[in-house]
């Protein structure tokens, strides 16, 4: 029997892509994630619960910065050559994202070079890279006309450098909503095959095969081609009932309602808990609830409030979007108070966020629920972990397609 294909996950976050690869039959060697809370979520679910990684003895099983790994374990990394099928991941996207302040000077953008260095040292057979749509756009707002980072990465990976033969690579924008995820979320994906592999095929064939596999995958898992927001989370309504939150004193948590869609049935499979994990409701003040009721009744759905309504309700936030249950959700970010629930006067819970990102209900999140102020750029609470993740439902389809390529 052939051994499982192996991979390393860089900038792994809370494990969205690793979960997808686990579900598609891949075996992880290790995952690199700098933030402690995000790593705790990955560790709890994929290391302890699922025994998914064959973690090497030389690498402490904890959160790490990629530059520390490159500096401290270069010999061990070189020893992995010819033993790693795949390296996945993409550097943090905040400096590129159009959802925030696009900044070419953001220090996190420099992690692209760390990613390229890691690839050149380990030299996996194939690579899979993901980042925000803004990764393909110039930084025109800056005084110095910026580069297109997708082009920079492509050219760097294609280049033959010293003992690394380079990769044949191809990049494309993909909307995860086209792959069963109940959210319009377009990302830049890049796939590459090492040039010295004899049976190397054209990298664009990965995207063709991914799309060709889509319908059969969704049908086999009982998922509709298109899932609306209501179909994704209507069994998690506040009106279904509440109990005291298991992990937060002074808060209420929701209980399950009846399964009302194929997607909900898929999300709740293998979950043995009677109370959904991380389904804690925010303690909105009564004035806030009344304001939300009026907004839901009068504002356009899936659009941020116009200036007139903001002034009417005394809202100073730049973004507040009441979502529409009859459509796929807008792209969710790391800021939960940017969105209003489609039919209840409140923001979404962490579990609802996870559903929108296609994390199954058995996947449990660790760390703070929220953060703010100056520590927002350092801490990665549960909402942020999910908002930064690759949807596992899409990741599983990626894994199945990659299996076809390396077999």
Residues carrying an active site annotation: 93
Backbone angles phi, psi at 77, to 5 degrees: -65, -40
| Terminal-to-terminal C-alpha distance of the chain | 12
Helix or strand run (H / E) with residue 402? helix 392-406
Place of tokens 């990049």: 171
Task: Compute the residue count for the chain.
Answer: 407
CA 385/CA 391 separation, integer angstroms: 11
CA 382/CA 377 separation, integer angstroms: 14
CA 69/CA 78 separation, integer angstroms: 12
Structure tokens at 184: 């319009």
Place of tokens 């959700």: 329
CA 3/CA 27 separation, integer angstroms: 9
CB atoms within 10 A of CB 390: 28
Structure tokens at 241: 């009932």
CA 184/CA 332 separation, integer angstroms: 9
Contacts of 372 (CB under 8 A, 6+ apart): none
């Amino acid at each position: 029997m052939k051994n499982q294909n192996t991979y390393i996950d860089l900038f792994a976050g809370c494990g969205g892509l690793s979960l997808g690869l686990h579900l598609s039959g891949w075996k992880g060697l290790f995952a690199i994630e700098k933030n402690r809370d995000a790593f705790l979520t990955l560790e709890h679910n994929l290391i302890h619960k699922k025994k998914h990684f064959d973690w090497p003895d030389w690498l402490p099983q904890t959160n790490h910065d990629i530059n520390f790994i490159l500096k401290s374990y270069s010999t061990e990394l070189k020893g992995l050559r010819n033993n790693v099928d795949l390296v996945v991941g993409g550097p943090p996207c905040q400096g590129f994202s159009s959802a925030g302040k696009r900044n070419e000077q953001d220090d996190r953008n420099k992690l692209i070079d760390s990613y390229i260095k890691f690839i050149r040292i380990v030299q996996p057979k194939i690579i899979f890279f993901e980042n925000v749509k803004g990764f393909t756009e110039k930084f025109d707002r800056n005084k110095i006309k910026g580069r297109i980072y997708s082009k920079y990465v492509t050219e760097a990976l294609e280049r033959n450098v010293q003992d690394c033969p380079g990769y044949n690579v191809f990049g494309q924008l993909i909307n995860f909503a086209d792959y069963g995820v109940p959210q319009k979320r377009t990302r830049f994906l890049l796939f590459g095959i090492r040039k010295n592999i004899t049976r190397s095929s054209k990298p664009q064939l990965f995207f063709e095969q991914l799309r060709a596999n889509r319908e059969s995958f969704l049908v086999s898992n009982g998922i509709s081609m298109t899932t609306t927001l209501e179909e994704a989370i209507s069994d998690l309504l506040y009106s279904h009932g509440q109990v005291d939150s298991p992990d937060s004193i002074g808060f209420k948590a929701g209980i399950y309602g009846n399964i009302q869609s194929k997607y909900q049935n898929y999300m709740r499979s293998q979950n043995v808990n009677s109370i959904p994990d991380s389904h804690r409701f925010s303690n909105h003040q009564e004035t806030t609830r009344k304001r939300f009721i009026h907004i839901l009744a009068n504002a356009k759905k899936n659009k941020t409030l116009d200036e007139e309504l903001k002034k009417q309700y005394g809202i100073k936030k730049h973004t507040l979007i009441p979502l529409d249950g009859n459509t796929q959700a807008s792209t969710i970010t790391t800021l939960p108070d940017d969105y209003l629930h489609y039919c209840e006067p409140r923001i979404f819970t962490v579990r609802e966020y996870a559903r929108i990102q296609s994390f199954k209900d058995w996947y449990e999140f660790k760390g703070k629920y929220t953060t703010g102020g100056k520590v927002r750029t350092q801490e990665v609470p549960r909402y942020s972990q999910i908002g930064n993740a690759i949807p596992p439902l899409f990741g599983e389809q990626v894994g199945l397609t990659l299996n076809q390529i390396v077999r």
